[in-house]
Structure 1
Amino acid sequence: MTLPAAAPFTRPLVLGSTSAYRRELLARLRLPFSVEPPEVDETPLGEEAPGPLARRLAAAKAAAVARRHPAAIVIGSDQVADLDGEPLGKPGNHANATAQLRRMSGRTVIFHTALSVVCHESGFAQHDLAPVKVRFRALDAAEIEAYLRAEQPYDCAGSARSEGAGIALLDAIESDDPTALIGLPLIRTSRMLRAAGLRVF
């Protein structure tokens, strides 16, 4: 009697994030996954530069969740906006968002989106950074106010949602991984998941 072939072992996939944007982006890959808050302190260390800060936080988020789910493949990600070497975080409120957009008006901002994929049980760990260069138009006070009242992007680094009306604030976007600006670089994510042994399609 021939026994049926055993189904291949598939590790669970966990997104270590509280971001609705990352959850929506990962869902595009049509893979089953769960979401768990990483509960990581995101305070910069001293004069930590934006790129290294994003990398450290993405790795810390992935590691924190992987410790609780050692058999899972865990994704951690973080984004830090970089204005001339100064990290800009989420504004949190209207006044801070207004100040951020005024500062970025007519200037180029680098959005560093870091990605970590880890599995404690298998020993897999890969980390990468997807920088996105964004050039803002010269913005007047009235359009900044109108935009913020309409979209209230207070949970977005840099105060502008490129996937929404914020795209009208920009002159150009340069990136090799288009969804990185929204919060999760899906080209890099797919590549890392395949390397970790998870079949995408």
Structure 2
Amino acid sequence: MKLADVDLVLASTSRYRRELLQRLTPRVRALPPETDEARRPGEAPAALARRLAAAKAQAVAGQAAGALVIGSDQVADRDGRVLGKPGDEATARAQLAACSGAVVVFHTAVCLLDLRGDVPVAYTAADLTEVFFRPLAADEIARYVARERPLDCAGSFKCEGLGIGLFERIASDDPTALVGLPLIAVCRLLREAGVEVL
């Protein structure tokens, strides 16, 4: 089966994820998942990302009969401390100050839920991206946050924009993972589900 013939649903309100998925096909429906994203006591960042990716896909399954549903979640991990979406400029500046000169690991998980048969089938994958921040001065951080306003981004930056200037290097197997949806993994999961991407 070809991707163009599939009802593809993205369980997300993220415009970044939707734009990434539209690289594969313009025919994408996005449905908002109603999920509690709170971290459980003692839950590792990678496990949190995997659990939330699956929870998001399952949350919209009832509205997507016969579809392929993609849920994804990303968790920024600074030495075991989860860096969420900052929400305001003060928090964004504080997060970036904490990242200055450090390595932040981004765990990006994907769950593809195949609802085309009688029994739902889940395919999962996870990506690990290491971001090496250069030392950042307070005035640089303030200027960056004021210019790009990365208030809805885990870790307080947009690597596809001006945020790339914050780094020394990025180590990853998938250049799209850091934006929020690892397309190499998504393509692999689609193939496992019997869907031709190309």
1:178 is paired with a residue whose SS is: coil
For each residue in 1:17-69, what CA deviation from the matched residue of structure 2 results, as whole angstroms up to 9, or x when unmatched? 01000000001112512110011111111222211111100000011112322
1:58 alignment counterpart: 53
Where does residue 124 of structure 2 map in the other structure?
127
RMSD: 1.5
* Conserved? CA contact 1:130–1:180, under 8 Å: yes
Count of matched residue pairs: 194
| From 80, 89, 93, the counterpart of 2:88 | 93
Runs of 4+ in 1 over 2 A off after TM superposition: 120-124
Would the aligned equivalents of 1:55 and 1:115 in 2 still touch at CA under 8 Å? Answer: yes
SS in 1 for 2:107: strand
| Match 2:184 to one of 181, 184, 187 | 187
Matched residue type, 1:190:
C
Which of 62, 65, 68 pairs up with 1:73?
68
Distance 1:188 1:143 in 2: 34
The amino acid of 1:23's aligned partner reads R
Provide the residue aligned with 2:164 in structure 1. Answer: 167
Q: Contact 1:38–1:65 (CA<8 Å) still a contact in 2?
A: yes
Identity of aligned residues (%): 54
Q: 1:198 aligns with which of 186, 192, 195?
A: 195
List gaps (5 residues or longer) in structure 2.
Answer: none
Distance across 1 between alignment mates of 2:189 and 2:85: 27
Q: Secondary structure at the match of 1:46?
A: coil
Partner amino acid, structure 2, of 1:137: R
Could you tell me whether the CA contact under 8 Å between 1:73 and 1:196 is conserved in 2?
no
- CA separation in 2, counterparts of 1:46 and 1:131? 22
Q: Provide structure 1 residue ranges, at least 5 long, that are not aligned to the other structure.
A: 1-6
| 2:68–2:116 CA contact under 8 A, matched in 1 | no
The answer to whether the aligner puts 1:176 opposite 2:159 as a matched pair is no
Q: TM-score, normalised by structure 2?
A: 0.94
Letter of the 1:37 counterpart: P
